[in-house]
Structure 1
Amino acid sequence: MIITVKKFDYLLIGFQFVSYIRDQRVPLNNRRKNNYISSSIRSFNLLAQTYWLLFSCFQRKVKKKKMVIHNLLTAMNAKIMGSGKETLVLAHGYGVDQSIWDKELPLLADHYQVVVFDWCFSGAVKDPGLYDAAKYSTYDAFADDLICLLEEMKLKSSVFVGHSMSGMIGCIASIKRPDLFHKLILVGTTPRCTNSEDYEGGFELSGVEEIFSSIKSNYEQWTSSFAALVVDPSDPESVEKLAKSLKRMRPEVAFTLAKTVFLIDYRDMLEKVTTPCCIIQTKNDIVVPNSVPKYMQNKIKGETKVEIIDTEGHFPQLTAHHKFVEVIDASLADK
């Protein structure tokens, strides 16, 4: 016999409890023997089902906790390579996967222990059920996943390299668990994408709405046009790589995640970041204006430096990987 706990069980217990209380109000000498036995049975059933309800809830809680913590390494395709005193954790941004770091990995693995992984929205993740639009409507859930992943890999005081949205995810994670991060390297990162009266985010709200509409109406076409827009056009190989990666992401995921990325506002979180930071920015990034790194530098409490790489676009790890690695090396040598 399989017993499940559903809403009906709560109602059943409630009715039994009311019936039990009613029976207890009848004087003992007025109770017939059968009624008394029936009341006792109801009391036993009430107690038994209450214990089963509590036990089932406890089981579900434990199972959920284990699923979140102990399956992330495999679910997120986490890999560790190289050797060195410093551990670098490379986190990709919107629409791509860990292959975005392919050019950097051979160079970094010679000097550092390097971790790469795929976020749950990535087209490289095998289980499509990992991404839940409601859960991941903010960066906090991503930060929690990152913390759990680092805990599972038993990593502490690592250097987190976060591109685009992952930069802010790393900031949030460092606020929650500063012991896990020695330094944050934020690449093309912004706390807010849209403009306001006192802030230049790079996008007007009307432009963001057009992006949402394009993703929803013709995702295939949007991936090609967006890739050509955000990657240096003089590097067609990198443009094509990004376009193919975007196409691997499910359209419904791309749409809901785009709403999260373009509509978040985490400016108030910056002053809570105490971990030392290095902000890497290209000289011309259509996604993140050059005013944003300076804004972040002024707000972040931890010691923060801004490095400008002489390349175009939002993906320096694709278009200027040697310069990108040089900046990382210099940042970690500067202690």
Structure 2
Amino acid sequence: MGIVEEAHNVKVVGTGDQFVVLAHGFGTDQSVWKHLVPHLFDDYRVILYDNMGAGTTNPEYFDFERYSTVEGFAYDLLAILQELQVDSCIFVGHSLSAMVGAVASIARPDLFSKLVLVSASPRFLNDETYYGGFHQEDLNQLFEAIQSNYKAWCSGFAPLVVGGDLDSVAVQEFSRTLFNMRPDIALSLARTVFQFDMRPVLGLITVPCHIIQSTRDLAVPVVVSEYLQQNLGGKSIVEVTPTEGHLPQLSAPDIVNPVLLKHIHNDIAE
């Protein structure tokens, strides 16, 4: 195993000819895909990895400057694909990783046959002509809460984002992966994620995009998925699922897995 694979806890499972990459968002790790992986096992070779900064990665490897932009994560993804000698894949990216895959596909469109984007947003912050879901004041309070008492912030943030009650397995699971992160790294990544603006590059994304969006998602309003579709440079399709929350693959796998599998299997109709 190479250095890149080891650093990102890369796993390759399954028996198919085609590669599917599953990439997670802020506050989680590759375990967020545990309900989906068994359904892909027979038809695909599935690549799982952890973004740098996840609680499962070595915090000594975390470069605060590199990961202050989405590009830092995109370079990691391209390095993983290079090390595994992947020349084409279907990329499934959740939240932050939806934009990571999108940026990587601008640099190397030949490596991606399609992007399946789950709970994706190019911009979380509102401005005069765009509704992302958050005011700057909301984000400042969020950053302050992470700084002042990380554990308390995790236990309050998890149920809001997952959209479930405190006792739900999905909330407990997200709380666990969130709390596993080192607080200073979590703060740095929260700033990266909630302050980025990927709108200027959307037109450069020419790989077909399948956008999967929850009906109710605290972090990503449905209008954001419509904005994405209108501004992407290639073919795209949006499917809004009858789910609540930002991590539907964890909180509602029975509803979301069939949708994900459909979009992984099928291309966008002409």
Task: Assess same fold via TM > 0.5.
Answer: yes
Q: Distance in 2 between matches of 1:161 and 1:323?
A: 17
Q: Which residue of 2 aligns with 1:195?
A: 126
The one-letter amino acid paired with 1:265 is D
Structure 1 residue 331 corresponds to structure 2 residue 248? no
The one-letter amino acid paired with 2:248 is P
RCO higher in structure (CA 8 A, sep ≥6): 2
Q: Which residue of 2 aligns with 1:170?
A: 101
Correspondence for 2:64 among 126, 129, 133 = 133
- CA offsets per residue over residues 254-296 of structure 1, 9 Å max, x none? 0111111111101011000000010000010000010000100
Pairs within 5 Å for 1:1-335: 70-125=2-57, 127-234=58-165, 236-335=168-267
SS at match of 2:242: strand
Q: Distance in 1 between matches of 2:22 and 2:144?
A: 31
Whether the 8 Å contact between 1:95 and 1:249 is mirrored in structure 2 is yes
Q: Number of residue pairs matched?
A: 266
Q: Distance in 1 between matches of 2:45 and 2:257?
A: 14
Residue 96 of structure 1, CA deviation: 1.1
TM-score normalised over the length of structure 1? 0.77
SS at match of 1:311: strand
Residue 94 of structure 1, CA deviation: 0.4
The one-letter amino acid paired with 2:54 is S
Unaligned runs of 5+ in 2: none
Whether the 8 Å contact between 2:217 and 2:245 is mirrored in structure 1 is yes
Whether the 8 Å contact between 1:108 and 1:325 is mirrored in structure 2 is no
Residue 331 of structure 1, CA deviation: 1.6
Q: Indicate the percent of aligned positions where both proteins have the same amino acid.
A: 42
Unaligned runs of 5+ in 1: 1-68
SS at match of 1:259: helix
SS at match of 1:118: coil
Whether the 8 Å contact between 2:124 and 2:134 is mirrored in structure 1 is yes
Q: Distance in 2 between matches of 1:325 and 1:183?
A: 17
What stretches of structure 1 move > 4 A for 4+ residues in a row? none
Residue 70 of structure 1, CA deviation: 4.5
Q: Distance in 2 between matches of 1:272 and 1:221?
A: 40
SS at match of 1:113: strand
Q: Distance in 2 between matches of 1:96 and 1:277?
A: 23
TM-score normalised over the length of structure 2? 0.95
RMSD: 1.3
Q: Distance in 1 between matches of 2:161 and 2:144?
A: 18
Whether the 8 Å contact between 2:243 and 2:255 is mirrored in structure 1 is no
The one-letter amino acid paired with 2:115 is L
- CA offsets per residue over residues 96-142 of structure 1, 9 Å max, x none? 111111111112213221110111101101x2221111111101111
The one-letter amino acid paired with 1:150 is L
Rg larger in structure: 1
